[in-house]
Structure 1
Amino acid sequence: MKVPTIVLALFLSAATANASLNHAHADIAARHASIARRAPTSLEKRAPNTRSRRRCQAPASNRASPSPANVAAANNTPAPQAAAPAPAAPAPQTQWQTSGIVHSDYCGGARATPETSRETGPHGHIDFLNCGIHSGGWSPPYLGLGDLHIVPLGTALQSGDSPFHACAPFRGIFEAAAGEYGVPAIMLASFAMQESSCNPNTVGGGGEQGLMQITQDKCGGAPNGDCRNPDFNIRAGARYFAERLAAHNGNVLLALGQYNGWFPGMTFERATAAQYSACCRCQNNLDYLHQFLNGWIRNINSYNANNRLGRYFNLDVCG
C-alpha cells in the first residue's frame, strides 16, 4: 500500500531530526563546560588585578617609617655605620719613680741619671731624646708636662748662682704668660735663656727676634711694630709653644723640637745641612733637647764653659 509507506517515511524523518537536535544541545553544553574550565589566556593573565589595586592604604603621614636596616636590606646596600671615634691621645711611654728620673725602654732605654752630666740627666740620655737622628729619622718618645722634674722659676731666682738672674726683670711677664697658656714659667724663661741668654735686643742669624727668638711671621700685632717688645715677645713665644704642645697631644719633646725647627723623621744630615749655606746658624741645634730638659729647667747653665752640656755643638762651626 502506498499510504502506509508514506506515513512510515515521515515517522522515520521526525525521529532522526529529534536525535540530531538533542546531540547538538549536548555539544553546546559540553563546549560551555570546557570554556568554564579553561585556563586564562595570556592577555587575561596580564590584565591588572583591580581588586588588589583598589586596596586602601593608610595615608603616608600615618604609616610607620621603615627602619634604616630594613631600607638597607630592601636596597641591597649596607646600613650606614656610625663614625669611628677620634683616636685617643697616645699613652705616655715614661713614668716617674721616687728617684725623680725617667724610666723607659724606648729607643734602647732612657739611661737617665739623678744628676745632670754632659750627655744625660733626669730626663734621659741625649741618645734617648734624639732617638732616630742617625737611624731613619727623629722619632722621640712620649714625655708630657707631668713627667718633667723642674725647678720653679721663683726657686731658681733665690739661688745666688742661678743663670736665670738675667731673666729677673721679666719674671712678672713669664709668670703671667705661664698662667695664660698653661706652660710653667721656668720653661718660658728657659726658652729665653736657650735662645737669647735673656737679652731682649737679640736678633738671630735668620732674623729671629728678641728674648724668645720668634720668627718674623709671628710678629703681627707687635706694639708699634716692635717684635722685640718683651711683653709681646714672651707671650708670642708662649702661645706658639702651647699650640705646638696641643698639636702633638702633649708630647713635650715634639713641641720643643719644633720650636727649634725639628720635625719627625729629621736626620743628622738634614739638621746640619745649613752649615754650608749663607745662614749657618739656621741649622737645628742637635743638643737642644738635652740642654733644655737636663739643663735649663733644672736651673743649670747649659752653656757653662766648665760643664757644657751636649755632644754635637754643631753650631760652633758658624763662628
Structure 2
Amino acid sequence: MSRRCQTHSGAAIINEAVHVTRPSSSAAPSSTSSPAPNSDESIWNGASSLLSVPSTCGDIGATWDITSESGPNGNINWLNCGINDSGGWRPQVVRIDQVVVQDLSKALADKNSPFLACSGYVDEFYKYGNEYGIPPIMLASFAMQESSCNPATVGGAGEQGLMQLTPDKCANAPGGNCKDIDFNIGAGAKFLKSLLDENGGNVIPAIGHYNGWDEGMTYSSATAAAKTGCCRCQNNLDYLHQFLNGWCQNVNAYQYNLGIYHNLAACPYG
C-alpha cells in the first residue's frame, strides 16, 4: 500500500533475461482447505500457457523469457496501457485465475528463491490466500514488493509490517500491533479482495490500486512528487511489471532490475 520502492537488499543487479519454467497445469481453488505449505500439490499451479486475454491496447507481448520489459503476464507497455498518453492509465481486463503465477510451495524449494525471506509466514499466505481466493504467491509478492518480507518494516507514511498496511486498516489489530503477522497478512488479503470486488474481479487495477495507482494516471501525475520534498511519494511506474512478471514468477524483481522507468531510482531512501 506504499508507493515506495524497496532497497535491493545489497544484491548485485543482474541485467539479463531469466527464463521461467512453464507450470504443469492451471487450477482455480477448489476447496476451502489449504494444502500443506511443503506439499507437491497446490490449488495454485499457475498456467501452462502465456497470458492471453482480449486486449484493447494492442499486442499483450507476453513471453516466457522475463526481461526488463516483458514476461508471462505481458509487456510493461501493455500493463501500463495509456500512462504515456493524455488519457492516462487504462488497465486491461484480466481475471485472477487467468494470471500466470508460480506455486509458492514449489518456489520455496528453489534454494535461490527470493521468497526464502518469507518462509516463516507460508502458513499465513496459504491460509488467507485460500480464504479470499488469491494465489498465495501473490500475497507473498505484495510482501516482497512492499517490505522485502520484513515484518518490522514501517513506511514513511506509517505503513505497517509485511504488506505495509496504512493506519486506517490497523484499527482491529491485536493489542494495537498492526505488525502482527497473522493480522497483517489477513488484513492485506482482505483489502486486496475488496479491490478485486470493486473492480469486477479485474486483477490489474486491483494490484495497481494497492500501490496507489488510479485509472487515468499519467506519467506526469505519477512522477509529480519527484519535484517535491517527498520524492518517494511518486508512483513506481514499474510496479505492475515487477509484481506480475517478477515476484509472481519466483524472480527477484529488484535483483534483475525489472522495469523501464526506474523513476524512484534517484530518490533518497528513508
Normalising by structure 1, report the TM-score: 0.67
Q: Which has the larger radius of gyration?
A: 1
- Residue 126 of structure 2 is matched in structure 1 by 175
Instruction: Give distance in 2, aligned partners of 1:268 and 1:246.
Output: 27
Shift of 1:198: 0.2
Residue deviations 1:2-27 (CA, integer Å, cap 9, x gap):
xxxxxxxxxxxxxxxxxxxxxxxxxx
Contact residue 79 and residue 240 of structure 2 kept, 8 A: yes
Instruction: Give distance in 1, aligned partners of 2:109 and 2:138.
Output: 17
Find out whether 1:211 has 2:162 as its counterpart.
yes
Q: What SS does the corresponding residue of 2:265 show, helix, strand or coil?
A: helix
Shift of 1:180: 1.6
> Counting helix residues as a fraction of each chain, which structure ranks higher?
1
Which deviates more from structure 2 when the two are superposed, residues 211-220 or residues 98-107?
98-107
Instruction: Give distance in 2, aligned partners of 1:154 and 1:116.
Output: 21
Shift of 1:131: 0.4
Q: What SS does the corresponding residue of 1:106 show, helix, strand or coil?
A: coil
Residue deviations 1:40-84 (CA, integer Å, cap 9, x gap):
xxxxxxxxxxxxxxxxxxxxxxxxxxxxxxxxxxxxxxxxxxxxx
Task: Mark the CA change 1:198 to 1:149 in structure 2 (over 3 Å): closer, same or farther.
Answer: same
- Residue 24 of structure 2 is matched in structure 1 by none
Shift of 1:102: 2.9
Find out whether 1:120 has 2:70 as its counterpart.
yes
Identity of aligned residues (%): 53
Task: Mark the CA change 1:300 to 1:97 in structure 2 (over 3 Å): closer, same or farther.
Answer: closer
Task: Mark the CA change 1:104 to 1:115 in structure 2 (over 3 Å): closer, same or farther.
Answer: farther
Instruction: Give distance in 1, aligned partners of 2:128 and 2:223.
Output: 32
2:258 maps to which of 309, 312, 318: 309
Instruction: Give distance in 2, aligned partners of 1:104 and 1:117.
Output: 23
Shift of 1:167: 0.2
Q: Which amino acid aligns with 1:114?
A: W
Give the CA RMSD over aligned residues: 1.6
Q: What SS does the corresponding residue of 2:57 show, helix, strand or coil?
A: helix
Contact residue 47 and residue 101 of structure 2 kept, 8 A: no
2:59 maps to which of 99, 102, 109: 109
Instruction: Give distance in 1, aligned partners of 2:253 and 2:203.
Output: 19
Shift of 1:104: 4.7
Task: Mark the CA change 1:244 to 1:97 in structure 2 (over 3 Å): closer, same or farther.
Answer: closer
Contact residue 55 and residue 92 of structure 2 kept, 8 A: no
Shift of 1:208: 1.1
Structure 1: segments with no counterpart, 5+ residues: 1-95
Q: Tell me the number of residue pairs that the alignment of Structure 1 and Structure 2 aligns.
A: 222
Q: What SS does the corresponding residue of 2:110 show, helix, strand or coil?
A: coil
Find out whether 1:284 has 2:242 as its counterpart.
no
Contact residue 286 and residue 312 of structure 1 kept, 8 A: yes
Contact residue 90 and residue 215 of structure 2 kept, 8 A: yes
Normalising by structure 2, report the TM-score: 0.79
Structure 2: segments with no counterpart, 5+ residues: 1-45
Residue deviations 1:184-221 (CA, integer Å, cap 9, x gap):
11000000000010000111122211100111111101
Q: Which amino acid aligns with 2:84?
A: H
Find out whether 1:268 has 2:219 as its counterpart.
yes
- Residue 245 of structure 1 is matched in structure 2 by 196
Shift of 1:226: 1.0
Contact residue 153 and residue 162 of structure 2 kept, 8 A: yes
Q: Which amino acid aligns with 2:145?
A: Q
1:186-265 mapped onto 2 (5 Å cutoff): 186-265=137-216
Contact residue 125 and residue 290 of structure 1 kept, 8 A: yes
Q: What SS does the corresponding residue of 1:154 show, helix, strand or coil?
A: helix
Contact residue 102 and residue 122 of structure 1 kept, 8 A: no
Instruction: Give distance in 2, aligned partners of 1:144 and 1:250.
Output: 6
Task: Mark the CA change 1:249 to 1:198 in structure 2 (over 3 Å): closer, same or farther.
Answer: same
Shift of 1:280: 2.0
Task: Mark the CA change 1:229 to 1:112 in structure 2 (over 3 Å): closer, same or farther.
Answer: same
Residue deviations 1:99-123 (CA, integer Å, cap 9, x gap):
4343554312111112211100111
Contact residue 205 and residue 279 of structure 1 kept, 8 A: no
Instruction: Give distance in 2, aligned partners of 1:243 and 1:110.
Output: 26
Instruction: Give distance in 2, aligned partners of 1:208 and 1:169.
Output: 21
Shift of 1:176: 0.8
Task: Mark the CA change 1:103 to 1:280 in structure 2 (over 3 Å): closer, same or farther.
Answer: same
- Residue 48 of structure 1 is matched in structure 2 by none
